[in-house]
Structure 1
Amino acid sequence: MGTITCSRYHDISCGHRVVGHEGKCRHLHGHNYRFHFTCQAQELDKVGRVVDFSCIKQTLCEYLEQRLDHKFIMWEKDPLAQTLRDVNTLGVVLVPFNPTAENLAKWMVEDVAPGLLAQYGVTLVECVVEETAKCKATYKL
């Protein structure tokens, strides 16, 4: 038997820095990120959907808008984190991981989505994070 999923993407702009990176990404910089969310349910709802696309928008997309859009994502262990927080308290978001596309995708699937999507009985089974049109990372359950 096949599996049915539904997907929605959302775009945000934000900055980050990758601690320990060998190249340009060790510097403060930003991206126009695109997050692709793929959800799955045990069964389709009475209308024949995994979940209404607006539910993904109201939860995962809105989370990105409120928490990350036009902000700067920093690993809480980054030596520059506190200095930047002192300069712009509301504009710097500290996370418990180095903010690579891979770690952002994993964080959305494992930590953010379960609490947000539980009310709809669906699971985020895949998140793709595009940093550019040419570069992306995927995390799947």
Structure 2
Amino acid sequence: MNHSESAPPTCGLYTLKIQAQFCAAHALRDYPGDCRRLHGHNWKVETEVEAKVLNDIGIAIDFKAIKAATRTLADSLDHRFLNDIEPFDRINPSAENLAAWFYRQLSKILNGSGVSVSAVTIWETDTACVRYKEIAA
């Protein structure tokens, strides 16, 4: 008996995840502590992409595409003062706002053909991170 013929149909979700890094400085406006002063981090960006189906060769999206998009955005911030870069010249360059920015920018680039960005995690240090994903209102 062919196993695929007897197995009931299943519905699954694939989550692909990559990481990129960049170094950048920021100063949190109106913060009631030391973080209001200029300081830097070795940031880590974790991009998660979801897909329900695979293509003809058994992949959802090439990891290279996710890495390239994330790396391009990370490179645009690398060795920069985030407070000087749009939109962080107006909004605080907090880990939360960085995560939302990466999510929205990556969604413009990667969403389509059955895949979508599901979450972005920004690691400010090895022990502190924020994960952003959008939910239906």
TM-score with structure 1 setting the length: 0.79
In our comparison, the structure showing a higher alpha carbon Rg is 2
Q: CA shift at 1:93, angstroms?
A: 1.6
Aligned partner letter, 1:73:
L
CA shift for structure 1 position 49: 1.8
- Judging changes above 3 Å, is the alpha-carbon distance between structure 1 residues 120 and 35 closer, same or farther for their aligned structure 2 residues? farther
CA deviation map 1:34-80 (0-9, x unaligned): 00000012422222222111001221212211x10111111xxxxxx
Residue number in structure 2 paired with 1:16: 26
Q: In the alignment, residue 82 of structure 2 is paired with which amino acid?
A: I
1:41 aligns with 2:41: no
Give 3-state SS (helix, strand or coil) of 2:65's partner: helix
| Structure 2: distance between partners of 1:120 and 1:17 | 39
Return 5+ residue gaps in structure 1 as ranges. Answer: 75-91
Change (3 A) 1:40 1:70: same
Instruction: Check conservation: 2:26, 2:40, Cα contact below 8 A.
Output: yes
Distance 1:133 1:124 in 2: 23
Asked whether the equivalents of residues 14 and 72 of structure 1 are also in contact (C-alpha less than 8 Å), the reply is yes
Cα deviation per residue 1:61-116 (whole Å; 9 max; x = unaligned)? 12211x10111111xxxxxxxxxxxxxxxxx4232421110111111112x01221
Q: 1:131 — aligned with what?
A: 124
Task: Report sequence identity in percent.
Answer: 30
Contact 1:113 1:123 in 2 (8 A): no
The alignment partner of 1:116 has SS state of helix
What TM-score, normalized by structure 2, do the two folds share? 0.81
1:70 matched residue in structure 2: 79
Aligned to 2:85: 93
Give the counterpart of 1:105 among 99, 118, 121.
99
Instruction: Name stretches of at least 5 consecutive residues in structure 2 with no aligned partner.
Output: 1-10
Q: Which runs of 4+ in 1 moved over 3 A?
A: 118-121
For the aligned residue pairs, the C-alpha RMSD in angstroms reads 1.6
Q: CA deviation at 1:121?
A: 4.9
Of 32, 40, 50, the residue aligned with 1:30 is 40
Query: What one-letter code is carried by the residue in structure 1 that aligns with 2:125?
Result: T
The correspondence for 1:140, drawn from 107, 130, 133, is: 133
User: How many equivalent residue pairs?
Assistant: 122
SS across alignment from 2:130: strand
Query: Once the 2 structures are TM-superposed, how far is the Cα of residue 5 of structure 1 from its aligned partner?
Result: 0.8
